[in-house]
Chains A and B, each alone.
Chain A
């Protein structure tokens, strides 16, 4: 029996709440980067902070809660790329799931 027939026969409903949860679990892990001796999350706070700071070298707390000196532009560039790529993938899959009933 193919999966669509099975779902139809069982009158199964698509769970948007669980799908949202699954997407968050899947894509949150893709935002993590190990770089320059620290572990980083490509989130809006870290990217904003790197944008707001000045100077080539800055010290940030990484996700292990250790202060790490980093090359600001280099880390900013990597995190921005990861954030952008991951959010686009997340959005695309969310749109695909949004259409399900």
Chain B
């Protein structure tokens, strides 16, 4: 039974996702002891700094998606099933900072698929969970997904493709804005459809996905390549003034919503 991780990295005019993926891959190798496959395109490959991925899959990116900061090439994630050379795969966003071996537990606890259904923010204890819309479901998260190649998981990824191709239709039904394609939303809907319009507990990672959110910055406590100690500084706005608050964390994974912070963190190795 082979295990590995897969990352999708297509450079946009604003961000070098390939370099982010190289950094994340090194941390996956180090902390999870897993080989890493990358799905990318020829132009992104040009920014390689020399890291050797286990396997490089080139694909044509779908650039038909935008966010407030520009083009966001996040479509096509459903191809993870087809492109993964492993029996068991960890599919991660490239801005997920691996600082521990915690994700390996997914392979022990799942039947054949698992993802997060709850999040927590480091500096906002008790923040509300995201929903597709007021009258719809809680969002599942495509940031970290583990899957085994089975008939059912193939159905999940096929369904993900179907939802991506009909995103506007599902946005109309569930009353969310379709302008920006979100893998999280597509996964939420795809998994529910495959499971007969339910979300079984067996498909959920039993701990929270930890985000670094708005008004929050992250600094490395030292410059070693596999540093796991960070200081998180939060701008707490009170009566028109900023009160800076911080905590220090160690050996704890997190997902950076702000790519600029990730770029800054990986500058020195």
A contact set with B: CB distance below 8 Å? 3, 6-7, 10-15, 17-22, 25-26, 28-30, 32, 34, 39, 41, 63-65, 93, 97, 100
Contact = CB atoms under 8 A, between A and B. Distances in A.
Nearest to A100: B248
Contact of B202 (A10, A12, A64): A64
Interface in B192-234: 200-202, 206-208, 210, 219-221, 231-234
Contact of B245 (A13, A30, A34): A13
Candidate in A6, A15, A34 with the most chain B CB atoms within 10 angstroms? A15
Contacts of A18: 122-123, 125, 232, 234, 245, 247
Interface residues of B, number: 33
Interface in B229-266: 231-234, 243-252
B233 A34 contact: no
Contacts of B102: 29-30
Contacts, number: 82
B68 interface: no
23 contacts: A3-B219, A7-B233, A7-B244, A12-B233, A12-B246, A13-B243, A14-B245, A14-B246, A14-B247, A15-B234, A15-B245, A18-B125, A18-B234, A22-B249, A25-B207, A26-B249, A26-B251, A26-B252, A29-B102, A32-B207, A34-B108, A97-B247, A97-B248
Contacts of B105: 29, 32, 34
